[in-house]
Amino acid sequence: MALANFFSKTSLAASQILQGYDETDFKRKLNTVTIEIAFDGEAVSSPEGIFTLDLTTRLLARLYPNLHINALDISAKNQKEKLEELAKSINPIISLNENVPFASIIVGNSLVSREGLVFYTGSNEWVVSFSQNHPVGSGNSSNPFGAGAAACFSAANLFRAIFKGQLVNGDLDDSFSLSLINFQKPDSEECVSFANTSIDFDETFLVGLGAIGNGALWALTKLSNAKGCIHIIDPEKLDISNLQRYVLATQDDVNEDKIRLCSRYGVPGLFSPFKGTWAEFLTKRQNWNLPIVALAVDSAEGRIAVQSSLPNIILNAWTQPSDLGISRHYNFLEQPCVACLYPPKTGLQSKTQLIAGAIGLPEKEILIREIVYNNSPLDENWIREISEAKAVPFDELKSFIGMPISVFYTKALCGGIITTNSNNQQIETPMAFQSALAGILLASELVLQVCGLRKDNIETMTRINLLKALAQYLNEPLAKKQNTTCFCCDEDFRLAYKTKYHYEENEK
Ligand SMILES: [Zn+2]
């Protein structure tokens, strides 16, 4: 047995996303597969290759008890030992063996021949690349974002490959490239190079050093050309269960303050850690001018607390069972604020988000809003979709045809016909690759923003579901609602924001 000493948390996370979860079966699957992380001399001579390998090891060592860390040529040998040490610092009883791998993650330019699955993983600046067929290489830049995201996508494919039978539509990706600048297929002519960019954070704030904060900090600690100050605010100590998905944390960090991670890895002087809550931080700071806040907290209350202190810009990252993502709040006066996304009445999620998540169709939330609002009856197509999404036989659901969706939600859910974790949001436990990607995207948004690298406007939200193959459209518009009770419509808050950031009275 070489499962980590925080396995119970891993089991909890898996139980929330795998259908028909059985812990004994889950353990057996983990114990019987060996995963290979293989790399060549080209991978280890490129900073991006090293970043991908580092994060891949950090992600996989948390979940899989059998890893084969494999240098494919002599010039890659020196990394093997480093990565093995890293894996052991996370799970000291991990088995590092050379068994025939169930799947291989390949970083570099080497084409390999294996009986099992092969996931070629790499990046070029902001572009993530993945293929099951051919090497994708790693860029030579010091940009950690594409490289880190690549590690998350391949870890997600690996998880889907092993637990395919327990995931709905959990198909693997075949090959893709994705730009983190616009979340579309990369356009080579618009490649934004990182090399000559000096990153000045001036004064920036990262709130929360939980699982998402760890992903963000992982990326931020890789920046060699950054200056300014990033305040990092978190009140808690790290406990053993956090190792399940805190990518920077090792056994040595247990029982230490979470903010200690900044000093363990940080570029000297870039991070200014504060142990305490956001409110305590503001009280001590005595200055409520907050140019950019990156939100990595895990509760609606935490997010709303930060929004109510009126930062100029907020970048917000989240994970939920169905997806993860980023929302961008550049202008409190004209765009939806963070609190708009977390209406206080229903706590963490709006009712339509809850319903959409519960019936297994989170990507249809916008459509569901419409049918909830109009109280229109569910037709057979909807019931068939729900039946497929939740893997419940159509016959058990067909009596609901013609019922309004909110009635369906209450009856089917309360009657136990469909089950969900959406009503247990507080104990929601994502997988490490989900939280890490949310964090990396948050850090990426921060750097794109402070450097002004994004030339074209982007929608308010970007969502990615790592439990399915990559969707074609990831960005989602969100219009500001007028006359809601949210405080972004409150005249006093609006005036305070205008005054603080010197906005002219030029609104319509
Ligand atoms: Zn609002």
How close is the Cα of 332 to the center of ligand 1, in Å? 8
pLDDT value of residue 426: 39
For residue 350, the CA-to-ligand 1 centroid distance in Å is 13
Mean pLDDT of 70-88: 97
Phi, psi of 34 (to 5 degrees): -110, 135
Residue 339 Cα to ligand 1 middle (Å): 5
Centre of ligand 1 to C-alpha 477, Å, is: 15
Distance of CA 342 from the midpoint of ligand 1 (Å): 9
The least confident of 228-242, 329-343, 344-358, 460-474 is 344-358
DSSP letters, 26-41, are HHHHHHH--EEEEE-H
Q: The pTM is what? A: 0.84
Q: Cα–Cα distance between 125 and 193 in angstroms, integer? A: 7
Counting beta carbons within 10 angstroms of the beta carbon of residue 269, is it exposed (0 to 12), middle (13 to 18) or buried (19 or more)? exposed
Instruction: State in Å: Cα 83 to ligand 1 middle.
Output: 45
Domains in the chain (CATH in brackets) are 7-190 (3.40.50.720), 199-347+429-501 (3.40.50.720), 361-419 (no CATH)
Contact between 281 and 274 (Cβ < 8 Å): yes
Give the span between the Cα atoms of 299 and 446, in whole angstroms: 21
User: Cα angle at 434 between 463 and 383, to 5 degrees?
Assistant: 55
Residue 347 alpha carbon to ligand 1 centre in Å: 14
CA distance 27 to 24: 5
The arithmetic mean of pLDDT across residues 336-341, rounded, is 90
Confidence check: pLDDT of 229 > 50 = yes
Given a cut of 90, whether residue 357 has pLDDT beyond it is no
Interval 164-220: pLDDT, tens: 999 999 999 999 999 999 999 887 655 677 777 789 999 999 999 999 999 999 999
Ranges 10-24, 329-343, 362-376, 410-424: which has the least confidence: 410-424
233: which 2 tokens? Answer: 């605010």
What's the 340 CA to ligand 1 centre distance in angstroms? 4
Nearest to 271 by CA among 227, 308, 234, 208: 227
Distance 486 CA to ligand 1 centre (A): 5
Residues 317-346 have a mean pLDDT of: 85
341 Cα: distance to centroid of ligand 1 (angstroms): 7
Q: How far is the CA of 481 from the centre of ligand 1 (A)?
A: 8
Residue-wise pLDDT tens digits, 86-121? 999 999 999 999 999 999 999 999 999 999 999 999
